[in-house]
């Protein structure tokens, strides 16, 4: 990158110097041509006024006056017989005809470069009829030596300027890269030092230039999210181990007791039934975890059919009637909504988890209300509201985390593994829906929204 920047700067300076030189050369040429034409015009005018034979002295005096204000300018005037009427000291302008087509210059009113005796001149020529009716040829030359010398100095000066500028650009680029890269290198070093044991470390924005503040903030936010995920993963692993250890411990204890003493067939049968319950509990935990693993890997593929949510909740009310009657809890369904496209088994499982959760935390002699509604042409809403103790706002975002319970006193007392709501969220999201929770002193409300299938779409 520094080399490219240097090359670009050098190229730009070279192009600029090239245009400066060309502009100067054009200016010098224009000045020379103007000077030559001015002298020729003056000489032509004098020849047309004076007779070279009769008024020679006056003509010569006027020519001297014309040339007096011009430096390094040379004139040669000859008649049609090549006789010299007037010439200045300096280069022999009669030699011009050997190298240059003077007649062409006269016809085109142009000019040409003439190099003679290690000097360079720009010449112009003209043919004029004098007062004595003779044809005279005027050749005028102006020296280019000083101009060429100045042009050479200008070229060398620009070359030196380009060289110095390129070096300065290279040094400036390297310095800029160092000053820019040094904070990045420090940031890279700090990022490289982050590992699973130092996720609580944060980069201070004040330690880097202000232009990197947004980058530092984004990195710190990412580390915060990673720390949260690692912490949840740690808690999840610990909770899963605890959940699986409990039934395994029960199985081990019951088996050891059974082996220590002789038992009757009925006693062994009772122990086996107890062990079966623990095995079923383990199986359920493993099944739920596999289900969530599929959801995490986007492998849940609902078998879409038309699902009538009113019928779905009516059947679930019948299924949980016995459990609700134990606490004298009433289940109430109100409102209607269009059918949705979904997997009946998955949605039934989500609804069952929410109802069992509501029954578990609803006080006796209360009513759980399920409200169905259509909120737009594209969405239906299901609200499951149960009275009970208010859940603090800080717990609400975490209710759908695995093994999370807002009430620590209710953990590990046979209320399930604590992943029911996580399964509900996975099922709802697999159907392109959304679930949220609200809680106040009156009730806790789980709110699900599902998309309404376009009209005319057939069930899978």
Q: What is the pLDDT of residues 116-162, one digit of tens each?
A: 888 999 999 999 888 878 888 999 999 988 888 888 888 888 888 88
Quote the pLDDT of residue 369: 94
Quote the pLDDT of residue 358: 92
| Cα–Cα distance measured from residue 219 to residue 37, given in angstroms and rounded to the nearest whole number | 76
Asked if residue 239 has pLDDT above 60, the reply is yes
Asked if residue 365 has pLDDT above 80, the reply is yes
Quote the pLDDT of residue 412: 41
Return the half-sphere exposure (C-beta side, CA atoms, 13 A cut-off) of residue 390: 7
Quote the pLDDT of residue 383: 95
Asked if residue 304 has pLDDT above 90, the reply is no
Task: Name the band, by pLDDT with cuts 50, 70 and 90, for residue 275.
Answer: confident
CB atoms within 10 A of CB 248: 13
Residue ranges with strand state E in 287-378 = 305-307, 330-335, 340-342, 367-374
- Token pair 């319950």 is found at 277
Please give the helix or strand (H or E) that residue 116 lies within, else none.
strand 112-116
CATH topology of domain 305-451: Heat Shock Protein 90 (3.30.565)
210-296 belongs to CATH 1.10.287.130: yes
Q: Judge contact between 140 and 72, C-beta under 8 A.
A: no
Segment 381-389 mean pLDDT: 93
Quote the pLDDT of residue 413: 43
Residues of the chain with CATH 3.30.565.10: 305-451
**Residue 149 DSSP code:** H
Q: Which CATH superfamily is domain 2-154 in?
A: PAS domain (3.30.450.20)
Backbone angles phi, psi at 384, to 5 degrees: -110, 110
Model confidence over 424-434: pLDDT tens digits? 998 998 889 99
The reply to whether the predicted model has a pTM over 0.95 is no
Report H helices in 193-264.
213-260
Asked if residue 414 has pLDDT above 50, the reply is no
Residues of the chain with CATH 1.10.287.130: 210-296
Residues of the chain with CATH 3.30.450.20: 2-154
Q: Judge contact between 428 and 409, C-beta under 8 A.
A: no
């Amino acid at each position: 990158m520094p080399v490219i920047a240097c090359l670009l700067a050098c190229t730009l300076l070279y192009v600029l110097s090239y245009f400066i030189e060309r502009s100067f050369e054009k200016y010098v040429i224009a000045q020379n041509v103007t000077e030559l034409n001015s002298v020729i015009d003056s000489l032509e005018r004098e020849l047309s006024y004076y007779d070279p034979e009769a008024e020679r002295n006056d003509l010569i005096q006027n020519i001297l006056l014309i040339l007096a204000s011009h430096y390094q300018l040379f004139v040669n005037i000859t008649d049609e017989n090549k006789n010299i009427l007037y010439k200045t000291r300096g280069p022999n302008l009669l030699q011009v005809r050997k190298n240059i087509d003077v007649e062409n210059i006269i016809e085109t009113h142009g000019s040409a470069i003439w190099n003679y005796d290690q000097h360079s001149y720009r010449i112009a020529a003209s043919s004029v009829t004098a007062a004595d009716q003779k044809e005279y040829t005027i050749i005028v030359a102006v020296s280019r030596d000083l101009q060429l010398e100045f042009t050479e100095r200008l070229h060398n000066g620009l070359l030196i300027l380009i060289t110095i500028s390129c070096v300065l650009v290279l040094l400036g680029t390297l310095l800029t890269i160092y000053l820019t890269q040094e904070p990045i290198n420090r940031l890279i070093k700090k990022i490289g030092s982050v590992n699973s044991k130092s996720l609580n470390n944060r980069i201070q924005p004040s330690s880097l230039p202000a232009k990197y503040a947004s980058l530092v903030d984004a990195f710190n936010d990412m580390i915060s999210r990673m720390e949260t995920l690692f912490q949840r993963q740690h808690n999840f692993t610990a909770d899963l181990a605890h959940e699986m250890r409990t039934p395994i411990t029960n199985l081990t204890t019951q088996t050891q007791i059974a082996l220590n003493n002789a038992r009757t067939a009925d006693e062994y049968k009772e122990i086996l039934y107890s062990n079966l319950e623990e095995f079923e509990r383990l199986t359920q935990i493993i099944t739920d975890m596999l289900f969530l693993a599929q959801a995490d890997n986007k492998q849940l593929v609902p078998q879409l059919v038309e699902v009538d949510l009113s019928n779905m909740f009516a059947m679930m009310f019948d299924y949980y009637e016995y459990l609700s009657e134990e606490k004298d809890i009433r289940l109430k369904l109100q409102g209607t909504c269009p059918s949705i496209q979904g997997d009946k088994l998955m949605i039934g499982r989500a609804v069952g988890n929410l109802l069992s959760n509501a029954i578990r935390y609803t006080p006796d002699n209360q009513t759980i209300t399920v409200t169905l509604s259509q909120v737009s042409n594209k969405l239906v809403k299901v609200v499951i509201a149960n009275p009970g103790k208010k859940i603090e706002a800080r717990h609400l975002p975490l209710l759908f985390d695995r093994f999370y319970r807002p009430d620590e006193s209710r953990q590990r007392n046979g209320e399930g593994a604590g992943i029911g709501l996580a399964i509900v969220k996975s099922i709802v999201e697999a159907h392109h829906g959304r679930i949220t929770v609200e809680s106040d002193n009156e009730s806790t409300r789980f709110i699900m929204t599902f998309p309404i299938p376009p009209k005319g779409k057939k069930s899978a």
